[in-house]
Structure 1
Amino acid sequence: MSSEIEQKDVNIGSAATENGVDTPKKKLRYVDIGINLGDPVFRGKYHGKQAHTDDFSDVLQRARDAGCQKLMVTGSDLKESIHAVQIAEQHPGLCYATVGVHPCSAKHFDSYLGGPAAMLASLKDVAVMGKESGHAVAFGEIGLDYDRLFLTGKEQQLKYFEAQLDLAVEIQLPLFLHSRAASEDFERLLGARLPKLPKRGLVHSFTGTMEEMKRMVDLGLDVGVNGCSMKTEENIEVVKEIPLGRLQIETDGPWCEMRPSHVSAKYLSDAPPLLKAVKKEKWAAGMMVKGRNEPATISHVAHAIAKIKGIPVEEVTEAAWRNSVEMFGLGESSP
């Protein structure tokens, strides 16, 4: 497996030159593999109150202007998975959906009308129809989160992670995974099923240790990097060692923004400027909102990764693009 990864990296790097002469730089292109576009804040609604005009179309346009050609809209429970597929249907070619129930929401299986089996059947219907139409490209966000057991207990998380993994294998969708402080159980449950999933999947918003990252790569999984993945010096060292052949990038908006207080801030000297961001109460058309991360900021994620690795940003963005298309399709032919 390691030789395959190395070969992918060599191919990506060699694309920068031809016969010893630098080729013209391409415009950077991005896949934001994790963006929660179903969140009400992208419609101007915060904590149930309308704070400003719905600017969803502006968010999408800024994403395109920044080079975001593909957006993967995260499904975090049954309702949001249906919503994610609807967004993909409304924006074909740009938006694609994931379908699944986040570990912090796994308790909903037991309270669902008709019980867990009925909810799994509904999830399956959404995923199958989404896959057949080309709008759903991954099963997730599923996994384990032992940092927030107050939201859903360990037993429920384990039970419904396993059930959803089996469903993903049946439907044959690559995985969109979440893991927090649960690596032993996470890897144990995945290990038995990944051989049945040729496309494997990725661990998104990765914040684990160097050893955990290496084990994810050894399992054949890709690693998703966003602002939360580059907060600390330890995070930076991990990102530096992620093989390009296993890297994908994301914003995880409206969360995981990159902040001046993060260690990653010192790696943004070459990053393009972002539009002015104001408090939601002072929002006006053409502005971003403070504290609301969005796909247009993905350029900062890529530039920080490039600086950390000491390579051109074009290598980062093209590697991530290839990896995302190979895994999820996204309406593109595989490289």
Structure 2
Amino acid sequence: MKRFIDIGANLTDPMFSGIYNGSVKHQKDLENVLERCWKVGMSKIIITGGSLSDSRKAIEISQMDNRLFATVGCHPTRCCEFDELDQSNYFQHMKELIETNRNKVVALGEFGLDYDRVQFCPKEIQQKYFKLQLTLTEEFDLPLFVHCRNAANDLLEILKDFKCSGVVHSFDGTIEEAKNFIDLGYSIGINGCSLKTLDNLNTVADLPIDKILLESDCPYCEIRPTHAGYQFISKENILPSVKKEKWNPGCLVKSRNEPCNILHVLDVLASVKKIDSFKLCEQIFENTNKLFFKSYLVNAIVQISRPTIPFYSHSKDCYMYNGRRQEDIAISEFVSGYILLEGEQKYFQ
């Protein structure tokens, strides 16, 4: 079975509580949603935090399962909240949220710049509080989950002042913009919104596979029949769906994207890049673990005679393995429940 990590799922959205535009259409079904994605090979999901309150909820949901993680940040269209809720307190609460949930918070964000929706927050405010949030990297050694809409040049200029790694998620820009972000040390996040047009497909076809990450960005960014990429989705990966008014726990809800649909994104990528889907999926799986999960280090001496690693946590501490520091050992993969170190499989208790 293919193995996936969804780097961006908006599981805090009211749609997963059955609420659409303020109206209740069906019962909460997040557990059904998660069960569907585990069945198709999902290994981990990173729940996106788009504001202080949203980040709190993302962490709360992540407590449901050890395969769920979260980000903490403020989306560019919501940066006016810093002023509305008192800048210093808002920022301090963000720091405390990260500090007290190190075992669940794997990235800073979602933050960045969005010049397509300045009606929600002016450019100057977006830039001011994006820069402020980037100072969190001085205290927390976490990758960035970056938002960019029609703002690549300004975003690049700001990021150049911070020596960080991360991902530019939901990428829909040009190949030149993608290469600039990659040269700066960033990966490129691909979802349905990255695959709408022929230009989009030409762009992703040229991306280096060691810099690609997958995301659903659910409940948004599904690949629709009108999108250029839709023709490449395998029919076997299109699961049954019903209208929200006819909700069924065993079916998807029409027009509500879910993590399990990450299969569609892989189908399109593999087709346009003309790469075997299993090979591509494994490469992306490795890319994602290297960026978001290699800092989950074991704070203990590994006893080679034992079949288990007793503990892991998000920490800068290193552990020893056969007399070598962990940071000198290549981690070939780190998935829910086990880690592979130099070919040896060690299971967590």
Shorter-chain TM-score bucket reads: 0.7 to 0.9
CA contact under 8 A between 2:237 and 2:263: conserved in structure 1?
no
Of 236, 245, 258, which residue of structure 1 is paired with 2:201? Answer: 236
Of 120, 124, 135, which residue of structure 1 is paired with 2:91? Answer: 120
The whole-number CA distance in structure 2 between the counterparts of 1:180 and 1:168 is 22
Deviation of the 1:170 alpha carbon: 2.1
Q: Which residue number in structure 1 is paired with residue 326 of structure 2?
A: none
Cα distance change of structure 1 residues 161 and 237 upon mapping to structure 2, 3 Å threshold: same
CA contact under 8 A between 1:229 and 1:235: conserved in structure 2?
yes
Residues 1-335 of structure 1: pairs in structure 2 closer than 5 A: 27-92=1-66, 94-112=67-85, 115-131=86-102, 134-194=103-163, 197=164, 200-268=165-233, 270=234, 272-329=236-293, 332=334, 333=339
The whole-number CA distance in structure 1 between the counterparts of 2:256 and 2:183 is 34
Amino acid in structure 2 at the alignment position of 1:282:
K
CA contact under 8 A between 1:82 and 1:126: conserved in structure 2?
yes
Aligned length: 299
Cα distance change of structure 1 residues 40 and 247 upon mapping to structure 2, 3 Å threshold: same
Cα distance change of structure 1 residues 56 and 216 upon mapping to structure 2, 3 Å threshold: same
CA contact under 8 A between 2:166 and 2:186: conserved in structure 1?
yes
The whole-number CA distance in structure 1 between the counterparts of 2:277 and 2:122 is 41
The whole-number CA distance in structure 2 between the counterparts of 1:279 and 1:128 is 41
Any stretches of 5+ residues in structure 2 without a counterpart?
A: 297-333, 342-349
Deviation of the 1:275 alpha carbon: 2.1
The whole-number CA distance in structure 1 between the counterparts of 2:129 and 2:187 is 22
The whole-number CA distance in structure 2 between the counterparts of 1:288 and 1:248 is 24
Q: Post-superposition, which runs of at least 4 consecutive aligned residues in structure 1 deviate over 3 A?
A: none
Deviation of the 1:273 alpha carbon: 2.9
The whole-number CA distance in structure 2 between the counterparts of 1:95 and 1:171 is 20
Q: Could you tell me the percent identity over the aligned residues?
A: 39
Structure with bigger helix share is 1
Amino acid in structure 2 at the alignment position of 1:250:
E
- Deviations along 1:278-332, whole A, 9 cap, x unmatched? 1100112211101100001111111110001001001221111111111111762
Amino acid in structure 2 at the alignment position of 1:300:
H
Q: Which residue number in structure 1 is paired with residue 311 of structure 2?
A: none
Cα distance change of structure 1 residues 316 and 169 upon mapping to structure 2, 3 Å threshold: farther
CA contact under 8 A between 1:138 and 1:173: conserved in structure 2?
yes
- Deviations along 1:3-42, whole A, 9 cap, x unmatched? xxxxxxxxxxxxxxxxxxxxxxxx1010010100011111
CA contact under 8 A between 1:140 and 1:177: conserved in structure 2?
yes
CA contact under 8 A between 1:37 and 1:84: conserved in structure 2?
yes
- Deviations along 1:132-188, whole A, 9 cap, x unmatched? xx1000000010001100000011100000000111332121100001111121011
CA contact under 8 A between 1:271 and 1:300: conserved in structure 2?
no
Any stretches of 5+ residues in structure 1 without a counterpart?
A: 1-26
The whole-number CA distance in structure 2 between the counterparts of 1:255 and 1:78 is 21
Cα distance change of structure 1 residues 121 and 37 upon mapping to structure 2, 3 Å threshold: same
Cα distance change of structure 1 residues 104 and 54 upon mapping to structure 2, 3 Å threshold: same
Structure with bigger strand share is 2
Query: Greater relative contact order: 1 or 2 (C-alpha under 8 angstroms, separation 6 or more)?
Result: 1
